[in-house]
């Protein structure tokens, strides 16, 4: 079986080893970081740069994972390979979207049937991308599955470094809650979907415990035996426009469908379990990180989610 990953980034690096254990061949596109792709067990493919080879991989793929965010001009994969994809015959096609498509709900719950009402340009771009992928899938008979990911964390994406060096700040915005998901659990959800395809279905991928961001930092400090980072009111906090935009939306995201339809049992059902595992792994592998993954930024802006 052959998997093609468009944008073999942080999340795909957790899925690839699981597929390789089953004997799959995985090819992943990258703009530059071929060593990181190879370290996860995938065959790197440079894109832009190796378009002809990539067209062959599309035609041969049993499964295709789309993990590249839309840009100002729309989805880059659709722009470059729409006709190739329309002719492809994968048994599974997955698109990694975001729970940002639901917009701000004032802390209320959303599920996959909730209206897509993103408030910012990134969420609106995701809504358009989801619609464009659905249109292609319906027209070409492609088995599309959409995965709306909550805030991703995991090895190399934990809060411990900032807490240790004293740069962490607890930004307080009353009523603010986020949903999260550990990268290992993203991989488990994708694998369950590959095993049990349901074309046309969207899945929220998040844990059981939406929580205020300041609670996560306080717990990280507690695990390290350090005092909690200082509190700063949201209106007084100095943040980049990107960081501030994440506080625009407040909602709780239901994960019932991945449990009931896919039978997924989360390894890290809340941030407490996830942070404990990250810290244990850091302590067990000084100077390194699990899965051969170097530390990654909280919001990956590279070629792949």
pLDDT of residue 285: 64
- Per-residue pLDDT of 256-298, as tens digits, reads 999 999 999 999 999 999 999 999 999 886 544 433 333 333 3
What percentage of residues in the chain have a pLDDT greater than 90? 89
Give the separation between CA 196 and CA 152, rounded to whole angstroms.
Answer: 24
The answer to whether 45 and 30 have CB atoms below 8 angstroms apart is yes
Backbone φ, ψ for residue 246 (5° rounding): -70, -15
The pLDDT value given to residue 304: 63
Each residue's pLDDT tens digit, 75-87: 999 999 999 999 9
Domain extents in the chain: 2-292
DSSP code at position 9: -
Share of the chain above pLDDT 70, in %: 93
The token pair at 193 is: 């979907």
Residues 6+ positions from 53 with CB-CB distance below 8 Å: 45
| Residue 100 DSSP class | G
pLDDT at position 305, please?
65
Joined together, the tokens standing for residue 163 give: 């807490």
Cis amide bond preceding 48, omega within 30? yes
What pLDDT does 299 receive?
30
Using CA atoms in the order 145, 151, 153, 157, what is the torsion angle rounded to 10 degrees? 120
Eight-class DSSP state of 42: P
Beta strand 2-6 with 63-66 is parallel
- Res. 300 pLDDT band, cuts 50 70 90: very low
Range of lowest pLDDT (45-49, 92-96, 150-154, 292-296):
292-296
Dist CA 66 CA 81 (whole Å): 12
298: tokens are 């909280």
**What mean pLDDT is predicted for residues 293-305?**
39
Mean pLDDT over residues 97-111, rounded?
97
- Residues 220 and 271: their CA atoms lie apart, in Å, by 9
Residue with tokens 């639901």: 102
What backbone phi and psi angles, to 5 degrees, belong to 99?
Answer: -70, -5
Closest CA to 180 of 57, 278, 73, 98: 98
Which residue is listed with tokens 């015959």?
89
Residues 209, 219: Cα–Cα separation, whole Å: 14
Written as six digits, the tokens of 168 are 């962490």
What is the helix (H) or strand (E) element at residue 97, kind and residue range?
A: strand 92-98
pLDDT at 270: 98
> Residues 22-48: what's their mean pLDDT?
96
* CA distance linking residue 171 with residue 218, whole number of Å: 11
The number of CA neighbours under 13 Å toward the Cβ of 67 is 29
Strand pairing class (170-172; 231-233) = parallel
- Homologous superfamily assigned to 2-292: NAD(P)-binding Rossmann-like Domain (3.40.50.720)
Span 160-182, pLDDT tens digits: 999 999 999 999 999 999 999 99
Residue range 128-141: average pLDDT?
98
Task: Express each pLDDT in 189-218 by its tens digit.
Answer: 999 999 999 999 999 999 999 999 999 999
């Amino acid at each position: 079986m052959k998997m093609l990953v468009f944008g073999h980034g942080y999340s795909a690096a957790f899925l690839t080893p699981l597929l390789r254990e089953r004997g799959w061949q995985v090819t992943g596109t990258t703009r530059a970081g071929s060593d990181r792709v190879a370290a996860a067990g995938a065959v790197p493919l440079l894109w832009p740069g190796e378009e002809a080879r990539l067209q062959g991989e599309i035609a041969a793929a049993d499964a295709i994972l789309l993990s590249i965010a839309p840009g100002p001009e729309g989805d880059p994969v659709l722009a470059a390979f729409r006709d190739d994809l329309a002719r492809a015959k994968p048994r599974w096609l997955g698109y990694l979207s975001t729970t940002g498509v639901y917009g701000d709900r004032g802390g209320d719950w959303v599920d996959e049937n909730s209206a897509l009402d993103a408030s910012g340009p990134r969420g609106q771009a995701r809504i358009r991308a989801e619609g464009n992928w659905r249109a292609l899938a319906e027209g070409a008979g492609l088995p599309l599955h959409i995965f709306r990911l909550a805030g991703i964390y995991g090895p190399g994406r934990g809060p411990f470094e900032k807490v240790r060096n004293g740069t962490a700040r607890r930004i307080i915005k009353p009523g603010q809650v986020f949903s999260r998901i550990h990268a290992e659990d993203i991989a488990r959800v994708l694998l369950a979907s590959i095993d049990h395809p349901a074309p046309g279905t969207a899945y929220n991928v998040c844990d059981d415990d939406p929580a205020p961001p300041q609670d996560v930092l306080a717990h990280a400090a507690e695990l390290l035996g350090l005092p909690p980072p200082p509190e700063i009111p949201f209106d007084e906090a100095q943040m980049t426009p990107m960081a501030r935009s994440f506080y625009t939306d407040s909602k709780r995201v239901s994960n019932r469908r991945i449990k009931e339809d896919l039978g997924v049992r989360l390894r890290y059902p809340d941030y407490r379990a996830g942070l404990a595992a990250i810290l244990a792994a850091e302590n067990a592998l000084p100077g390194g990180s699990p899965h051969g993954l170097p530390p990654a930024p909280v919001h990956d802006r590279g070629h792949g989610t």
